[in-house]
Chains A and B, each alone.
Chain A
Amino acid sequence: MTRKDPSGGLIISPIKNGTVIDHITAGEALNVLRILGITGSTHECLSVATNVRSKRMRKKDIVKIENRELRTEEVDRIALLAPHAKINIIRDYQVAEKKGVETPRVLKGVVRCPNPGCITNTNEPVESTFEVLPKGLHCLYCDWLIKKKDIPNHII
């Protein structure tokens, strides 16, 4: 990070190649990273800004991931937590692609079913599978409903 203008606060430096996720719902940046499978032990070079002032959203989070272009299915997972997020694919400091996120109809292998009796929490060769509903996630195996606010607690 660099401090270009002390009166303007901290600004995250541009990245040469990678992905910038902008307009993340304030406070959800770390959950967005979790849903992308990016943890402290992975190798990506990351910049995370939370509660940044935003004209449109008042406050927002921003994540920059260097040298990794997110795939469409990864991008759509983000919609669960940050439906207004904007994805910018950066190549040689330029925005090569810009896209919104689209809520997937079915979510596989991203969230663990909280029901201990669910068959997906056994050694069976299946992934957790949820139907994405406005009220939350509905397990297609055991019918358990994860309310929207509880989704981050169950990300695998």
Chain B
Amino acid sequence: MSFATAMARLGGDSISVDSVEASSIVKGETLADTIRVVSGYADAIVLRHPKEGAARLASEFATVPVINAGDGAGQHPSQTLLDLYTIRQSMPIDGIHVGLLGDLRYGRTAHSLALALSLYGVTLHTIAPRGLEMPESITLELRERGMEVIEHTDVEEVIRDLDVLYVTRIQRERFPDSASYYDVASSYRITPDLFTGVRDHLMILHPLPRAGEIDPAVDRTPYARYFEQAKNGVPVRMALLHEVMK
């Protein structure tokens, strides 16, 4: 939705294919063919796809620029740009302490943000339920880039050291049953009582939509910055679309 809004604000139009049923994919068309066809209809393609690496594949078959708007559990680079922009509005990014909380294994926003933050000398604190930790390949790469990555299981033990706490959704489908999901989800829920003794400028960010990870009462605290972050999605994506089509 934010890409469509961005395109409209730039004065352009967008053709949206929101479901597989509305496309030739349901007839067995490959993504490669869809991309070739759409390349003839549009000046740029914004692709969100359930498979990792879909945007890379699309870029090989497209004759127009392709923007990765999320590929499965892979990456979400445009979200990262707006995350960085939101942080940068409040503080310099260099050397800050950022906590990533939630499903770090399948959460593509967390993967892209962690890799981007490694360019800024950030100390990264990962807080994830067992089995949903950051993929080893990513933590290995972050450490090879010289980033300090500290793993935690409890947000309480680290929240007072953080400048930014980035919360991601814990997806129900990753758990064998509802009971185990609710067990984990409730222990990773952010509530106002966690904020005792935190830094004044702490920012709570979330790529949204949320599914209970953040108590609505947090919305009324000065730490809640996720709606402002979502709003930033429009100008950042306007800039991105302008950059690839200029």
A binding-site residues for B, Cβ under 8 Å: 115, 117-120, 122-126, 135, 138-145
Give the interface centre of A115, A119, A142 by most chain B CB atoms within 10 Å.
A119
- Among B2-10, B51-59, B237-245, which stretch is in contact with chain A? B51-59
Which residue of B has the minimal Cβ distance to A146?
B137
Cβ of B72 within 8 Å of any chain A Cβ, yes or no, is: yes
Number of B interface residues, CB 8 Å? 21
Cβ of B208 within 8 Å of any chain A Cβ, yes or no, is: no
Contact present for A117 and B72 (CB under 8 Å): yes
Interchain CA distance A142-B50 in the complex, whole Å? 12
Identify which of residues 25-60 in chain B touch chain A, using a CB-to-CB cut-off of 8 Å.
30-32, 49-54, 56-57, 60
Which residue of B has the minimal Cβ distance to A113?
B53
Contact present for B30 and A118 (CB under 8 Å): no
Specify which chain B residues have a CB less than 8 angstroms from the CB of A122 in the assembled complex. Answer: 31, 51
Supposing A117-B73, A126-B57, A135-B140 touch, asked if A142 and B52 sit within 8 A by C-beta, the answer is yes
Contact present for B140 and A142 (CB under 8 Å): no
Supposing A117-B72, A126-B60 touch, asked if A141 and B32 sit within 8 A by C-beta, the answer is no
Interchain CA distance A93-B167 in the complex, whole Å? 68
Q: What are 5 sample pairs from A and B whose C-beta atoms fall under 8 A apart?
A: A117-B73, A124-B31, A140-B56, A141-B56, A143-B137
Identify which of residues 42-92 in chain B touch chain A, using a CB-to-CB cut-off of 8 Å.
49-54, 56-57, 60, 71-75
Q: Contacting B57 at CB < 8 Å: which of A115, A124, A135, A144?
A: A124
Supposing A124-B32, A126-B32, A126-B60 touch, asked if A141 and B53 sit within 8 A by C-beta, the answer is yes
Give the interface centre of A115, A120, A143 by most chain B CB atoms within 10 Å.
A143
Contact present for A143 and B60 (CB under 8 Å): no
Which residue of B has the minimal Cβ distance to A128?
B53
Interchain CA distance A135-B143 in the complex, whole Å? 14
Query: 5 smallest A-B Cβ distances: which pairs?
Result: A141-B53, A142-B52, A145-B137, A119-B53, A142-B53
